[in-house]
């Protein structure tokens, strides 16, 4: 007969493993623990969270369904329901559950996720209002300030966004992305070429030349000014500092394509696509390039690679089937 104290020790152990990112070991312990505690809604929800982090969304849903049947109102069950909905991009469901959680017991994490879900739904005004309300309970929380600043910027309230970013940077001066966003807002009204020069000058001081976000912003401004080769160099410098950035890879690929550097463009866009296959513009640009080069089999390989890393992007299954048919039709005509 197992005891409640043993269950508490198991739950504590699992949370420590999750915090240390030892997900394989956590999964093994959770599934083993469920043999002893199959009726624990909290353990089922925690196991679902582990599977979600491992991108095993079907397994996570199955475990969470079992947890909901046992205790749909348990905080851990509601929290995992919200997180899983967010992961599956069902932001409406996620927002409802996060709202239920913060109404029940205010929590920094749930508030920040509620702000993010509202933003993903395009409800920037609601997101900003939620962030402001949360900051009254949790003053100077960095995640809430990030959410507030981004929402205010999308609403066109530039002064309020600048104030939020400045508050954030006073707390976390090394937040390079926030610094980039602050400079983006402060140079928004300038001509692209003037903004780019100001940013390039700024990066010559204080070690800011190591900030990939500032380099990316300078590249964006240079591209808008029509200085494509200079923009290309800044994107390449940003990528050297942040090699896995899907945004930089995508922008670099688009620019390489525009400059007629197709081989380079394919490589950049392929890496961006595998990292973030939900980006429709990257996928279409990459597919058109490879189709033009009669390399559809390579695109099929990339789709399969993206699927193995991002199984939650369901649209890839249909794309893979379409490509398989197209390649078969091509081969039949030969």
CATH code for the domain in which residue 281 is found: 1.25.40.10
SS3 248: helix
Per the domain annotation, does 15 fall within a domain?
no
Per the domain annotation, does 62 fall within a domain?
no
CB 54 within 8 A of CB 23: yes
Name the residue among 87, 28, 78 with its Cα closest to residue 53.
87
CA gap 228, 222 in Å, rounded: 7
Rounded to the nearest 5 percent, the helix, strand and coil shares of the chain are 80, 0, 20
Q: Give the per-residue pLDDT at 195.
A: 74
Torsion from C-alpha of 171, 175, 178, 184, nearest 10 degrees: 120
Name the residue among 18, 87, 72, 17 with its Cα closest to residue 41.
72
Per the domain annotation, does 31 fall within a domain?
no
Question: How far from 327 is each of 264, 295, 308, 316, CA to CA, in Å?
Answer: 24, 10, 21, 16
**Domain count within the chain:** 1
Q: Give the per-residue pLDDT at 1.
A: 43
CA gap 147, 136 in Å, rounded: 14
Per the domain annotation, does 9 fall within a domain?
no
Percent over 70 (pLDDT), the chain: 97
Name the residue among 218, 272, 263, 213 with its Cα closest to residue 244.
272
Q: Give the per-residue pLDDT at 202.
A: 67
Per the domain annotation, does 120 fall within a domain?
no
Per the domain annotation, does 291 fall within a domain?
yes
pLDDT by residue (tens digit) across 22-51? 999 999 999 999 999 999 999 999 999 999
Per the domain annotation, does 73 fall within a domain?
no
CB 214 within 8 A of CB 187: no
Per the domain annotation, does 230 fall within a domain?
yes
Name the residue among 259, 260, 299, 305 with its Cα closest to residue 282.
299
The ranges of the chain with pLDDT < 50 are 1
Q: How far apart are the first and last CA of the chain?
A: 69
Q: Which domain holds residue 332?
A: 211-334
């Amino acid at each position: 007969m197992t005891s409640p104290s043993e269950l508490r020790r198991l739950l504590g152990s699992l949370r420590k493993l999750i915090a240390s990112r030892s997900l394989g070991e956590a999964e093994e312990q959770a599934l083993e623990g469920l043999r002893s505690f199959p009726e624990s809604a909290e353990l089922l929800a925690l196991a679902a969270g582990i599977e979600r982090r491992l991108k095993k969304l079907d397994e996570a849903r199955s475990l969470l369904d079992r947890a909901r049947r046992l205790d749909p109102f348990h905080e851990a069950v509601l929290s995992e329901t919200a997180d899983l909905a967010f992961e599956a991009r069902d932001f409406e469901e996620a927002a409802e559950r996060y709202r239920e959680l913060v109404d029940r017991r205010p929590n920094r994490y749930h508030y920040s996720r509620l702000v993010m879900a509202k933003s993903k739904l395009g409800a920037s005004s609601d997101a900003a209002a939620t962030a402001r309300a949360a900051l009254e309970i949790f003053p100077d929380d960095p995640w809430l300030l990030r959410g507030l600043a981004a929402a205010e910027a999308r609403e066109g309230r530039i002064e309020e966004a600048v104030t939020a970013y400045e508050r954030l940077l006073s707390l976390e001066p090394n937040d390079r992305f926030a610094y980039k966003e602050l400079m983006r807002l402060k140079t928004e009204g300038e001509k692209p070429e003037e903004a780019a020069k100001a940013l390039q000058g700024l990066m010559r001081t204080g070690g800011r030349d190591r900030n990939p976000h500032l380099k990316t912003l300078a590249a964006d401004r240079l591209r808008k000014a029509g200085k494509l080769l200079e923009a290309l160099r800044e994107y390449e410098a940003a990528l050297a500092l942040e090699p896995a950035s899907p945004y930089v890879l995508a922008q670099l690929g688009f620019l390489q394509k525009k400059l007629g550097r197709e081989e380079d463009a394919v490589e950049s866009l392929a890496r961006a696509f595998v990292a973030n296959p939900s980006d429709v513009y990257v996928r279409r640009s990459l597919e058109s390039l490879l189709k033009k080069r009669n390399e559809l089999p390579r695109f099929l390989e990339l789709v399969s690679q993206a699927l193995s890393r991002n199984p939650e992007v369901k649209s890839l299954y249909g794309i893979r089937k379409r490509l398989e048919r197209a390649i078969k039709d091509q081969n039949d005509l030969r």
